[in-house]
Amino acid sequence: MPDTHSPLALEDARWNSLTHRAGVGPNSEMDVARELGLLLDSPTDLERIRDLWPYLASEGSTWDAAYAALPYLVQILKLQPPELRAELLSVVGIILTGADESSMPKYLLHAYLKAIDEVYLPLGESIPVLSKDDLPWVLATISALRGNRELAELLQEPGSLEATCEECEAEIYVEIPGLGN
C-alpha cells in the first residue's frame, strides 16, 4: 500500500489520472511530474516555473495535479536562494487561493498539508529580500496560508478593486499605494 504521508512519487501511475489545465495526465502539452523532476534538478529555472504554474492553478481554478505538485514545489523552494523564491512563493499562494481540499484525492491530503506547514521557513527567509513588485504576491501567499483566500485573491488581482456603482453605474476604482502597478 502506498505511503499517503509522502509526496506522490514522480513515477507513480496515479499522475496519469490527475487533472491540469490541459486535461488529464501527461499529454503533448504538459507532463507535470516530468516538469517537477526537471525543476528539482534545476530549481532556479524560473522560465520552467513560469511555464508550469498555469497548468496547476490559474484564473481561480486549482487542478488535482497542483495538490500532488505542492510538496515538490516546497522542496524546490528550499533549494532556491531566498532572493529567487518570490516567483514560486507566489505560485504556492495561487494554488492555495483556488484550492478545494474537499475535492482533493484523499491519497494526496497528508503530503499536501505537510507541504503547507513546511513552506513557512523558506517564506520567512525570503521576506527580507522581496522586491516591491513581489510584495503583493507574497502577501497573498501569506493570506492564503492563513486561510484568508478573499484577501489573497485581492492581492493577486489588484484590478479586482474595480467596481460599478449599482445606483449611478459609475465606474469606481480603489487605489491602494504600493499595491499593483
**What averages of pLDDT result for each successive group of 10 residues across the chain (181 residues)?**
79 97 95 98 96 93 96 98 96 95 93 97 96 91 93 77 76 62 49
Q: In the chain, what's the furthest Cα-to-Cα distance?
A: 62
**Considering the domain boundaries, does residue 68 fall inside one?**
yes
Q: Structural domain of residue 139, as residue ranges? A: 13-173
pLDDT at residue number 174: 63
**Considering the domain boundaries, does residue 1 fall inside one?**
no
**Considering the domain boundaries, does residue 181 fall inside one?**
no
**Considering the domain boundaries, does residue 135 fall inside one?**
yes
pLDDT at residue number 77: 97
DSSP letter (8 states) at residue 154: H
Beta strands in the chain (DSSP E): 19-20, 23-24, 57-58, 61-62, 162-164, 171-173
**Considering the domain boundaries, does residue 31 fall inside one?**
yes
**Considering the domain boundaries, does residue 61 fall inside one?**
yes
153: closest CA among 50, 66, 59, 21? 59
pLDDT at residue number 150: 86
**Considering the domain boundaries, does residue 24 fall inside one?**
yes
Task: Provide the 10 A C-beta neighbour count for residue 149.
Answer: 17
**Considering the domain boundaries, does residue 30 fall inside one?**
yes
pLDDT at residue number 168: 85
Structural domains of the chain, count = 1
Question: Amino acid identity of 101?
Answer: E
- CA dist 11 and 180 (Å) reads 40
89: closest CA among 69, 68, 115, 119? 119
pLDDT at residue number 60: 83
